Amino acid sequence: MANKMMGIGASAGVAVAKVYILDEQPIVIPQDTAKDVTAELANVSQAITKAKADLENLQKIAQEKLGAEKAAIFEAHASILEDPALTEEFETLIKTQSYNGAKAIGEVAEKYIAMFSAMEDDYFRERAADVKDVTDRLIRYILNLPVADLASIAEEVIIVAEDLTPSQTAQLNPAYVKGFACNVGGRTSHAAIMARSLEIPAVLGLKTILSAVSATDVLAMDGATGEIEINPQKTDVWTKKAETFKKEKAELEQFKTKKTVTKDGFDGFVLEGNIGSPKDVAAVLENGGEGIGLFRSEFLYMDNDHFPTEEEQFEAYKQVVTDMQGKVTIIRTLDIGGDKKLSYFKFPEEMNPFLGYRAIRFTLDRKDIFKDQIRALLRASAFGPVGIMFPMIATVDEFKTAKQFTLDCKAELEKAGVAVGKDLQIGMMVEIPAAAVLADQFAKYADFFSVGTNDLIQYSMAADRMSEHVTYLYQPYNPAILKLLKLTIDGAHKHGKWAGMCGEMAGEPEAVPLLMGLGLDAYSMSATSITKARSIMAKLTRKETAELANKALECDTTDEVLALVHKLMQTK
Ligand code: PEP
Ligand code: MG
């Protein structure tokens, strides 16, 4: 059997250690009906009490090892258990359908897991993992199955598992657990996010690692590239890799506090962070983010049981703007619809919801809902520099209508004596090819562009960003995409406006040289990518990246473009 495997590099770092197989006894839910409804109800209630105590304990461990922000996940888990709607659903199934406790929990969990898994936003997809983590714990207690105790590992190991839950990850002691490799998961899994905080290397999405190793094997892994080797032959190769990683990490550390400057001394590029909620601000600042390039406002709506009021939204936006201490915060208006659903609002059934009633199309149609958000955003802008941007803009008319609506709300507030920021900018996402092609016209009206490559690529290639069957078409480096980026950036500059990017591409090490060459002004990415991007910029001149971009625009294929990037970066 091949002893090398490739997965998703989810937390950087190199490790070589003995395998520790975490092969939990699978949960098999009994299907028999409850003989004693009262006893089943008591079982469920005892399991909930026990799980709550566990979560409190885990929260304490995580608080010490990972800090308050990461420990908050266990508060979220506890709140799932405290949700009366959920427990009521368990109870109803037991009382009315004579379900046994485990079956009732399993069925309710399945419903919520399916709902969250279908959502487009990574944040909400991860909620599926939270529900599974909590409900599996309950079911294990009811069925008297062991719950893994990873905190007691006391020798150097690499954990190999189907998946690691957030609660399992929080128990890992980095002194002994040198890394973990799982069959499932990706860069945005909670396990991956925690692994990065704990600085434990992780490779996920390996599909078959669990069946490929045995307990006596030694594993070598590179958490940046996703490379795995079982019983490595040439250990010196791995020692060298580990040294290189350590050196690079030390080098990147300095870039947290350095200014963003290219090799030729240009300091006009800005590196920013993407956030999904106010609690993400700390990581952006800690990694040297020069602003927030995308605040996805959906969390306020999706983590709720009603459309958030103007006041509720104002508090959240104000907190972010204040925490950013004078650095710019770009907040995107509600990007709901498609597969991002709300429990308290029914969207129309459509054949292609991604191409349907969503984002700006929805908010322009529901000005009552839009108005609460715009007023909250305008009021928050009095506390620091704010950019408002609209998602999924397809036509100039749409943008002009949304902008005018914002200006009308502003006038109304000012008339009532409510403060609005002087530095307010009103811009738009460029994530529909039509907007990129017509950037020149849009730039007459928009203060800035922010390219949403996650969507721009899927719409340009007609390849669903969620479908595993067409991932080969999801090509950020396709010259067609580069041409759309060029149109967007040139369009903005022609009218003295700036162009940014907040799709995942902005933080990809291979994309940064190309984007510099195309003249992109602002790069917004996950907080942990900022130092790497800054270090790449420090190695490159604008002249050489412009030459790279020009050549790339003439290429026929993605591979040709990437070959050009690799050739340039090899000399650095
Ligand atoms: C994008 O489309 O690139 C983007 C940043 O928005 P989202 O991923 O939230 O759709
Ligand atoms: Mg988008």
CA atoms within 13 A of residue 315's CA, in its CB half-sphere: 5
For ligand 1, atom 1, the nearest C-alpha belongs to 452
- Judged by average pLDDT, the poorest of 32-36, 124-128, 155-159, 411-415 is 124-128
Most confident of 50-54, 261-265, 463-467: 261-265
- Judged by average pLDDT, the poorest of 61-65, 290-294, 444-448, 516-520 is 61-65
User: Other C-beta atoms within 10 Å of 120: how many?
Assistant: 19
Q: Ligand 2 being an ion, which residues bring their Cβ within 5 A of it?
A: 431, 452, 455
Query: Cβ(522)–Cβ(501) under 8 Å?
Result: yes
Topology of 4-24+148-226 in CATH?
Glucose Oxidase; domain 1 (3.50.30)
pTM summary value: 0.72
* pLDDT at residue 513 greater than cutoff 60: yes
pLDDT of residue 234: 87
pLDDT digits (tens, 9 = 90+) for 358-395: 999 999 999 999 999 999 999 999 999 999 999 999 99
Residue 163 DSSP SS3: coil
pLDDT digits (tens, 9 = 90+) for 239-287: 999 999 999 888 899 999 999 999 999 999 999 999 888 888 998 999 9
Q: How confident is the model at residue 1 (pLDDT cuts 50, 70, 90)?
A: very low
- Judged by average pLDDT, the poorest of 131-135, 257-261, 310-314, 564-568 is 131-135
Whole-angstrom distance between the N-terminal and C-terminal Cα of the chain? Answer: 37
Q: Is 503 in the pocket of ligand 1 (CB under 6 A)?
A: yes
Query: Cβ(531)–Cβ(288) under 8 Å?
Result: yes
* 296 annotated ligand-binding residue: yes
pLDDT of residue 46: 92
What one-character-per-residue DSSP string does 263-288 give?
A: TT-----EEEEEESSGGGHHHHHHTT
Mean pLDDT of 89-101: 92
Mean residue pLDDT across the chain: 91
Mean pLDDT of 410-423: 96
pLDDT of residue 526: 84
What one-character-per-residue DSSP string does 538-567 give?
A: HH--HHHHHHHHHHHHT-SSHHHHHHHHHH
Q: How confident is the model at residue 120 (pLDDT cuts 50, 70, 90)?
A: low
For residues 72 and 518, which has the higher predicted lDDT (pLDDT)? 518
Note the CATH architecture for domain 265-570.
Alpha-Beta Barrel (3.20)
> What is the chain's Cα-based Rg?
25
- List the CATH code of the domain at 37-142: 1.10.274.10
Quote the percentage of the chain above a pLDDT of 70. 98
CA distances to 34, 258, 451, 524, 563 from 530, in Å: 55, 11, 18, 8, 24
What is the 8-class DSSP label of residue 337? Answer: B
Quote the ligand 1 centre to 422 CA distance (angstroms): 28
Q: Is 65 exposed, middle or buried (0-12, 13-18, 19+ CB in 10 A)?
A: middle
The answer for residues whose C-beta is within 8 angstroms of residue 115's C-beta and 6 or more apart is 128, 341
Quote the percentage of the chain above a pLDDT of 90. 65
pLDDT of residue 468: 64
What span, in angstroms and rounded, lies between the C-alpha atoms of 561 and 333? 34
Mean pLDDT of 514-543: 95
* pLDDT at residue 83 greater than cutoff 80: yes
Q: Is 453 in the pocket of ligand 1 (CB under 6 A)?
A: yes
* 196 annotated ligand-binding residue: no
User: Other C-beta atoms within 10 Å of 367: how many?
Assistant: 13
**Where is 55: in which H helix or E strand?**
helix 37-66
CA angle at 61 for the pair 57 and 66, rounded to the nearest 5°:
140
Query: Cβ(93)–Cβ(44) under 8 Å?
Result: no
Main-chain dihedrals φ then ψ at residue 314, nearest 5 degrees = -55, -45
Mean pLDDT of 220-240: 93
Quote the ligand 2 centre to 503 CA distance (angstroms): 8
Domain boundaries, the chain: 4-24+148-226, 37-142, 265-570
Kindly provide the residue ranges of all beta strands, DSSP E only, lying in 356-396, ordered along the sequence: 386-390
Q: Is 502 in the pocket of ligand 1 (CB under 6 A)?
A: yes
What span, in angstroms and rounded, lies between the C-alpha atoms of 156 and 20? 9
Catalytic residues: 190, 502
Q: Which atom of ligand 1 is nearest to the CA of 502?
A: 5
Q: Is 304 exposed, middle or buried (0-12, 13-18, 19+ CB in 10 A)?
A: middle
* 534 annotated ligand-binding residue: no
Two tokens at 394? Answer: 């397809």
Residue 198 DSSP SS3: helix
pLDDT of residue 532: 93
